Structure 1
């Protein structure tokens, strides 16, 4: 399949799966989100991690990460979150001590205020990264939102990569290009799938 065909396929899948995710009920999201968090907190890589990097769920029925952030901080772990460097396709990584004080950026993503001072410059410090995605497959394939931010970021760290996804958005196969980064484990409300990437 040509690169152009893969991109067309990705675009169609994004549209279809975004629509499906929007239709999930608040009750379904809360229940499956609790199950996903419970399974994530039980994996050995989480237990061993000192510094966790995670997106902050904030829009379009994303799998909730607020519980993960609280559990990590309460357990004595350090937490970093992504911040888009305006005008680029790069991320910076802010270390946070809680969810209080985060503000919405232009895309509706939660980030620290402009005067935030604690940044993680060395991505090799990170032990585990929760990678956002619209859909995943059991082999660690992922379809994000099309910006390529995480594909670039993941090239710079050897951290263990985790994908969180609702059962209805776990596909048999996600169309991938050579530069697309895979995750090491995919966690849904009903299962945990180690992808064999390590």
Structure 2
């Protein structure tokens, strides 16, 4: 167990340097490309309820997907952290970037009064990460929020990142959840495909 923790910590540290070196312009261009790709995917076309995150300055910005959802009548929700139980709770978002808290740890989330949705209603979850591998392995920030949530839903799971964040093998433990698809500006990796 300790060696798994050490392997994850080492990969996080290596990726922090990679991520810090990427310019804001590169993040913006990559975000546009990833959003355009998601909008063409069957997982998106078949979804009525989409869960996504509000990005930090060093994550893929999903504004293009959120705005497409708004235009086409899809429901968008975002994760809200319940710190007492260390869980994510899907909360409905009415308009991209509105009704969000001030950043905590650099992360904005829906206000407490936002309507909650059960995980069973979500068709598609788009998640960030520090690093991914071609088999749907995902390395997050280390608290396990997304893994605990993803294990409770049957929704299709898409990870998004830059090509530089793809590694051959993400160290995975028993509680880690593999994603169905990982999308970068240049590639798409399907688990088992």
Q: Which structure 2 residues correspond to residues 179-190 of structure 1 after superposition, within 5 A?
A: 179-190=175-186
Which residue of 23, 26, 37 maps to 1:25? 23
Question: How large is the RMSD of aligned CA atoms in angstroms?
Answer: 1.4
Which residue of 7, 28, 36 maps to 1:38? 36
Structure 1: tracts of 5 or more residues without a match:
none
Residue aligning to 1:10: 8
Question: Tell me, what secondary structure is at the counterpart of 2:76?
Answer: strand
Residue pair 2:36, 2:64 contacting (<8 A) in 1 also: no
Question: Tell me, what secondary structure is at the counterpart of 1:110?
Answer: coil
Partners of 1:88 and 1:158 lie apart in 2 by 21
Which residue of 169, 173, 177 maps to 2:173? 177
Residue aligning to 1:130: 126
Q: After the TM superposition, which segments of 4 or more aligned residues of structure 1 sit over 2 Å from their partners?
A: none
Residue pair 1:80, 1:95 contacting (<8 A) in 2 also: yes
Residue aligning to 2:157: 161
| 1:46-67 CA-partner distances (Å, limit 9, x unpaired) | 00100001111124x1111122
Residue pair 1:134, 1:144 contacting (<8 A) in 2 also: yes
| 1:28-60 CA-partner distances (Å, limit 9, x unpaired) | 11111111111111001100100001111124x
Residue pair 1:57, 1:66 contacting (<8 A) in 2 also: no
Question: What TM-score comes out, normalization by structure 1 length?
Answer: 0.92
Question: Tell me, what secondary structure is at the counterpart of 1:52?
Answer: strand
Question: Tell me, what secondary structure is at the counterpart of 1:111?
Answer: coil
Structure 2 residue 83 is the aligned partner of structure 1 residue 86: yes
How far apart are 1:188 and its partner, in Å? Answer: 0.5
Residue aligning to 1:150: 146
Greater mean deviation of Cα atoms: 8-17 or 67-76 = 67-76
